[in-house]
A = this chain, B = another copy of it.
Amino acid sequence: MLDAATAVFSERGFHAASMDEIAERAGISKPMVYLYLGSKGELFSACIRRAGGQLTEAISAAAAPELPAEQQLWAAVQAFFEFVGEHRDAWAVMFRQARGEGEFAGEVAGIRRLVVDNVADLFARAIHSAGALDPGPDELRALAHALVGTGESMAEWLLDHPDERPETAATRLMNMLWMGLGSLIRGEVWRSPVPVPLPPGQ
């Protein structure tokens, strides 16, 4: 049922989605939807929470805590792009639809905060393990926030360019993040600290 709702919400948006269409696409009757979820708002909220859970789950599962920070980041970024590619609807609900609905923006902001905090933590550990000057947690969170935005933007790009592979986007993001354009200009290129794991089934 959440699948159907997520699909409709992602296509139409919260307000334009009709409970009729959701129920129909779920193959059940409208009163059932209300019995299980209570109201349109709660249904939307459930979609958001499930999508958020899946996303954070996917990222956490990829970034094994025993790995070095840079490597965790690389894994997380890859997992993120893969998630977006495989859950287009869930992604659209969170990133494109829920953001504008004041009533639900908080929920998606909470999910985003989880990711940002994770990333900020990885930044901190990477800096710490390099023995560099600690920029302070606020600065780190600002950077992490920015990185997540970069990823989101690249995710949209990925969805608009079906030929592109997630790994390409991931590499591009790491390059931009780790090297900066200046370094790129100087011919430096970031390389995966570990051999790129083959996609499953290849």
Contact = CB atoms under 8 A, between A and B. Distances in A.
B180 A179 contact: yes
Contacts of A67: none
The residue among A92, A142, A186 with the most chain B CB atoms within 10 A of its own CB is: A142
Given A126-B181, A132-B185, A186-B132, A176 B146 contact: yes
Contact of A100 (B96, B152, B156, B183): B96
Interface in A83-104: 92, 96-97, 99-102
Contacts of A153: 145-146, 148-150, 152-153
A2 interface: no
A136 interface: no
Interface residues of A, number: 53
A130 interface: yes
A64 B123 CA distance: 35
Task: State the main secondary structure of chain A at its contact with B.
Answer: helix
Please tell me how many copies of the chain the complex holds: 4
Interface string A107-140: 0000000000000000100110010110100010
Contacts of A148: 153
B156 A149 contact: yes
A68 to B, nearest CB: 13
A146 B142 contact: no
13 contacts: A15-B16, A123-B181, A127-B185, A135-B184, A142-B154, A143-B172, A145-B154, A146-B154, A176-B176, A178-B182, A179-B180, A180-B181, A180-B190
